[in-house]
Amino acid sequence: MSDDPLSLPIFLRLSGHPVLVAGAGRIAARRLERLLGAGARVTVIAPEATAAIRALAEAQRLDWQAREARTDDVAGYRLLFATTDDPAVNAALADAARAAGVWVQRADAAGESDFLVPATVTRDTLQVAISSDGRAPTLTRILGARLESWLPRAYGDLAALAGEFREAVRTRLPRAHRGPFWTRVLDGPIAETVLAGRTDQARVELARAIDAAAAGEATPATGEVYLVGAGPGDPDLLTFRALRLMQRADVVLHDSLIQPALLDLVNREAERIHVGKRAARHTLAQERINELMVRLARDGHRVLRLKGGDPFVFGRGGEEIAELAAAGVPFQIVPGVTAANGCAAYAGIPLTHRDYAQSVVFVTGHLKAGALDLSWPELARAGQTVVFFMGLKSLPVICEALMTHGLAADWPAALVIDGTTAHQRLIAGTLDDLPARAAAETITGPTLLIVGEVVRLNATLGWFHPDGEPGA
C-alpha cells in the first residue's frame, strides 16, 4: 500500500465555465465529449484536428483555433487539458496555467497533473467514478466497462425520480425521518418498480408513501416474488437482471437442478429453501410451493423463486404466477436460457440449420402412467429438430415411437448430460442404438434428448470440452 496521499474525488460543475484544451487528437476528443456533456464553454487550440472535433467546431459547439498553443493562451480559463504530442509544450502550458491560477490535467503525465479524469459510468444524473490515482489507468478502464454492463440503466430513472420528490420529502418529513424513508424507497418495492420499467406506477406509489409518512402512518410490510430462470447450469449464462434480483432476495426457493455455483451468487444472508422436484422425488408438492410463495411475500419478504432453464419452458412458471396473481402478490418474471438452447449450443449442435432443420420442436418426455401421449406423426418428420425435456426414463419409448412413425433406425439422436457445466457429457448415436448406449452409462445429472440430422454436426462443431479433450 502506497504512503502517498490519495487524490480527493470531486465532481465539478462546469456549466458555462471556460475550459481550454490544447491539442485536438484522440485523447482530446475523449475529453471533449465529457466536457461538452457537462456544459463547459470549450476552446480547442491545435493546428490540426480530428474529423470529430472539426464537426463539433462547425456545429459551433466549441471554438477551434487552428494554430499552436502558446503560454499566454491559458489565462482566464477554469481548467486546462494539455493533450499535445509534445511533452515540452504540455509542461510549459502547465507552468503558465498554474501561475495564472488555472488547474491543469496533462495527458502525458498524470503525476504532473493537478487533477485526474476518472473512468465513469453514467445513468442520467447518477454517476459512478473510478480512479487508481493515475497508477493503473487500464485497470480503471476495465472496471468501468464492467460496471457499465452490471449497472442497470434504469438506475438513472430511479435517481431522477428521487430528485423529483426530494423537495417534497425535505419539506414534509422531519430531518430524522428522511434517511430511513429514502432507504425504504431506494432499496424496496418502489425502487424495484422503477427497475422493472414501471416508472409512472412508482411515481404514484412514492407520492402515497410520502403522504403516509407525513401522516405518521406505519408502512405495511410489502413483499414481492421474483420468478427467475437460472439457465441450464453455467453461471455465466445468467442475465444481468437475474443476478441483480438474486442478490436482493430475502428468501430463496430453489429447484434440485440449480447448480451450487449458481446458489453461491445469491444474497448470502438470504434463507434458502429447497423445494425441488426430480423424477419421482418431490420435496414439496406444487400446491405447497405456491402457498409458500404467497405466505412469504405477504409477510414482507423479497422471495426469489429460482428455476433451472426458463420458467415458462416446462418450468410450471405459468401455474405459479397464476397463483400469485390470484392472491394479489406482486411479481416479476426473468426469462432464462432454456436447457434446449444452452445444452445444444455447448454441445455444438445447432437446433436449426439451413441444410438440415428448418424448424425446432420442444417436447416433454415425462412419462404419465408409463406412456407418452404425443403427436408422433408430427414429431417423426425430416427437416426438423425435436428436443425432449426430461426424457431419460422414456428414452426407449421415444426412440421406438419415432421409428414406428417413419424415422429411420439410423436417424441421429444424442443425450446431453449436465449440459453447460464442467461435468457435461454427450452420448451420440441413432434412434436404434442410443437407448443401449445410455443404459451402459451411469447417468445421474439432468439430461436433454436432441433428435435430428443436426446432431451429426457435433463431430465438427463441438467446442466445449470440460475435460480438455475434444470428442464426445
- Which class is domain 340-461? alpha beta
Q: What is the pLDDT of residue 61?
A: 97
Per annotation, catalytic residue among 73, 234, 255, 418: 255
> Is-catalytic flag, 234?
no
> Is-catalytic flag, 393?
no
Query: Would you say 339 is a known binding-site residue?
Result: yes
Query: Would you say 285 is a known binding-site residue?
Result: no
Per annotation, catalytic residue among 277, 307, 373, 433: 277
| The domain made up of 224-337 is a member of CATH 1.10.1200.10 | no
Q: What is the pLDDT of residue 472?
A: 42
Query: Would you say 235 is a known binding-site residue?
Result: no
Query: Would you say 26 is a known binding-site residue?
Result: yes
Domain boundaries, the chain: 18-117, 153-215, 224-337, 340-461
Query: Would you say 403 is a known binding-site residue?
Result: no
Q: 18-117: which CATH topology?
A: Rossmann fold (3.40.50)
Query: Would you say 313 is a known binding-site residue?
Result: yes
Question: HEC states along the chain?
Answer: CCCCCCCCCCCCCCCCCEEEEECCCHHHHHHHHHHHHCCCEEEEECCCCCHHHHHHHHCCCCEEECCCCCHHHCCCCCEEEECCCCHHHHHHHHHHHHHCCCEEEECCCHHHCCCCCCEEEEECCEEEEECCCCCCHHHHHHHHHHHHHHCCCHHHHHHHHHHHHHHHHHHHCCHHHHHHHHHHHHCCHHHHHHHCCCHHHHHHHHHHHHHHHHCCCCCCCCCEEEEEECECCCHHHCCHHHHHHHCCCCEEEECCCCCHHHHCCCCCCCEEEECCEECCEECCCHHHHHHHHHHHHHCCCEEEEEECECCCCCCCHHHHHHHHHHHCCCEEEECCCCHHHHHHHHCCCCCCECCCECEEEEEECCCECCECCCCHHHHCCCCEEEEEECCCCCHHHHHHHHHHCCCCCCCEEEEEECCCCCCCEEEEEECCCHHHHHHCCCCCCCEEEEECHHHHHHHHHCCCCCCCCCCC
Predicted model pTM: 0.73
Question: pLDDT tens track of the chain, all 472 residues?
Answer: 556 788 899 999 999 999 999 999 999 999 999 999 999 999 999 999 999 999 999 999 999 999 999 999 999 999 999 999 999 999 999 999 999 999 999 999 988 999 998 988 999 889 999 999 888 888 998 998 888 888 888 999 999 999 999 999 999 999 999 998 998 899 888 998 998 889 999 999 999 999 999 998 876 667 899 999 999 999 999 998 999 999 989 999 998 889 899 999 999 999 999 997 655 455 678 899 999 999 999 998 999 999 999 999 999 999 999 999 999 999 999 999 999 999 999 999 999 999 999 999 999 988 776 678 899 999 999 999 999 998 899 999 999 999 999 999 999 999 999 999 999 999 999 999 999 999 999 999 899 999 999 999 999 999 998 876 554 4
